[in-house]
Structure 1
């Protein structure tokens, strides 16, 4: 395993060079970080270069890094994480791309490199609000058409903004502001002196 990772690390460094902004090798996996401006070119290189040959995009997801491991971070907020697989060379790599702007997170779409990115990018747009520049059909995938906001963002309220219900008088589904009162539920513990018959 170590020899294979050494070979992959050497190939990545030789092919991508200075375009790798951060390199991490941990628990038998390699993670590289590249700039959003370089992402499309790097993706094509990862797929096409004979020393790498990452033919498959296995997964792509968004992440909100505003609070990570219960601690606030001072870096960029939104990141797109891709997992790539080389079937012919039998190795994997994880690629992170941070959106340069937190207010309007934008990264290039890689649907032209790996067609499987289509639905993954739509999901990341829907849930995190990350815009994939160049995506041919960037629209919501999992939430309702009239949904407001992006539910996987750390600042999105747990109860949401609107709720829907069936109105029997109008015979249709209606949307209304959330009627749930936010509250913190803390379990009440009662300890009695002789609870359970113990003295």
Structure 2
């Protein structure tokens, strides 16, 4: 395993050079971070370079780092994470790219490099509001087309902004402000002596 990781690390550093902004090797996995400006070029190198051959995109997701590890985060808020597989060379890599603007997070679409990115990018757009520049069909995937906001952002209220219900008088579905009062419920804990027959 160590030899394989050493070879992968060497191949990544050789092929990508200064495009790698951060490199992490932990728990038998390698994670590289590239800048948004280098993201598309790095994706092509990862797929096409004979030393790497990452033919398959396994996963792409968004991340909101605004309160990472319950601490204030110093850096860009939104990140896109890819998991790539080289079937021919039998190795994997995780690639991270941060959107430079928190107010309008934009990164390039990699659908022309890996077509499997299509629905993953739509999902990240829908849930986090990350815009994938160059995506040919960037629209919501999981929420309703009239949905307001992006529900996986950490500042999105748990109960949402609106609720929908069927109105029998107008005989149609209507949207209205949320009627649930936000509250925090602490469960009541009952401690019994000798519970479960333990003494």
> For the superposition of Structure 1 and Structure 2, which TM-score range results when normalised by the shorter chain?
over 0.9
For residues 1-199 of structure 1, the aligned pairs below 5 Å read 1-188=1-188
Q: Which secondary structure state, in structure 1, belongs to the residue aligned with residue 124 of structure 2? A: helix
Q: Which runs of 5+ in 1 are unaligned?
A: none
**CA offset digits 1:7-56 (Å, max 9, x no partner):** 00000000001100000000000000000010001000100000000000
Q: Determine the C-alpha separation between the residues in 2 that align with 1:111 and 1:153.
A: 24
Q: Determine the C-alpha separation between the residues in 2 that align with 1:51 and 1:197.
A: 63
Q: Which secondary structure state, in structure 1, belongs to the residue aligned with residue 37 of structure 2? A: helix
Q: CA deviation at 1:160?
A: 0.1
Q: Which secondary structure state, in structure 1, belongs to the residue aligned with residue 186 of structure 2? A: coil
Q: CA deviation at 1:105?
A: 0.3
Give TM-score scaled by structure 1 length.
0.94
Give TM-score scaled by structure 2 length.
0.94
Q: Determine the C-alpha separation between the residues in 1 that align with 2:91 and 2:126.
A: 30
Q: Give aligned pairs, total.
A: 195
Q: Which secondary structure state, in structure 2, belongs to the residue aligned with residue 139 of structure 1? A: coil
